[in-house]
Copies of this chain bind each other. A is one copy, B any other.
């Protein structure tokens, strides 16, 4: 994988800003209940790529020339992403012991505290969004909150996780696998772009372009993730591999084989790259992002 693409350089530049915002917004581990705050921080500061917040900042910057107004919203998106990982790893869900090379939240803090750490992060994300002065100044702060809620809730990520659970061990049609991915991974990735663009003041036409682009990169991202699960070693991935197949998870590679899944991702990313020029001043980063995701599927 190329280590110096435009998109990766953007990720590198955005990361310290996102880390600082998260550090500022998360409750201190020295305040009560300390264990809850420690559990929340453990998973938030576990070395994530910060992809969703970076996409939010990039979309805002691409439209308005500035990323700073989107920073609290970006941090809120990472809290929501982390909440979903903590709950996804629970014994009642995917039952994973390892995430990013470290024991999962419930392995360290126990199941009850992991459930509450996830709940706490989801609630704190909405609190952060309600408190952000930049959202308050905007003409319609509720529209921004609605974007995040729809990306997160039963019509978005949480609905997708339920489908994922319900599809386990069943041979569902390929279009259902796509419908599940669109919600489970696509909704929050696409919501991150949309939220940033909205904060930047994007036009309706620009928001439609972000939607079309976001839906495609969401799908390609998930296919890439599933290919990594098939192909990588545990050490490379920092978590269990081959687990999707063992659990009878519905995935595109599982349904059509890795080669066709790879071609499918390439086709989708080609479409996304064609949309990128309509995404404002930083369209080159978005083109570079499609290349980054393409490399990821090889």
Could you tell me if B90 and A159 are in contact, using CB atoms closer than 8 angstroms?
A: no
**A286 nearest CB across to chain B (Å):** 28
- A122 within 8 Å of B (CB atoms): yes
Among residues of B, the one whose C-beta sits closest to the C-beta of A146 is B130
**B36 contacts A154, CB within 8 Å?**
yes
Q: Which residues of B have CB within 8 Å of A166?
A: 33, 35
Which residues of chain B have C-beta atoms less than 8 A from A149's C-beta? 123-124, 126-127, 130
Residues from chain B with Cβ under 8 Å of A165 in the complex: 112-113, 116
- A92 & B119 in contact (Cβ 8 Å cutoff): no
- Choose, from A11-19, A134-142, A253-261, A269-277, the stretch at the interface: A134-142
Instruction: Please tell me if the beta carbons of A142 and B130 are within 8 angstroms of each other in the complex.
Output: yes
Tell me the nearest residue of chain B to A119, going by C-beta. Answer: B158
A113 to B159, CA, bound (A): 10
How far, in whole Å, are A122 and B135 apart by their CA atoms in the complex? 21
A114 part of interface (Cβ distance < 8 Å): yes
Residue A91 lies at the interface, judged by CB distance under 8 Å to chain B: yes
CB of A39, distance to nearest CB on chain B (Å)? 8
Q: Which residues of B contact A123 (CB under 8 A)?
A: 122, 149, 152-154, 158
Q: Are A120 and B154 in contact (CB under 8 A)?
A: yes
Q: Mark A19-45, 1 if CB is under 8 A from B, else 0.
A: 000000001000011011100100000
In angstroms, Cα B106 to Cα A33, docked, is: 27
Interface string of A91-108 (1 = CB under 8 A from B): 111000000000000100
Known A145-B130, A154-B40; contact A92-B120, beta-carbon cutoff 8 A? no
**Top 10 closest A-B pairs, CB basis?**
A92-B111, A127-B149, A123-B153, A36-B162, A130-B145, A33-B162, A130-B146, A120-B154, A92-B112, A130-B142
List 16 A–B pairs whose Cβ atoms lie within 8 Å, in order of A's numbering. A32-B159, A35-B162, A36-B154, A92-B92, A92-B106, A92-B110, A92-B111, A92-B112, A93-B111, A93-B115, A116-B158, A116-B161, A116-B165, A119-B119, A120-B153, A122-B122
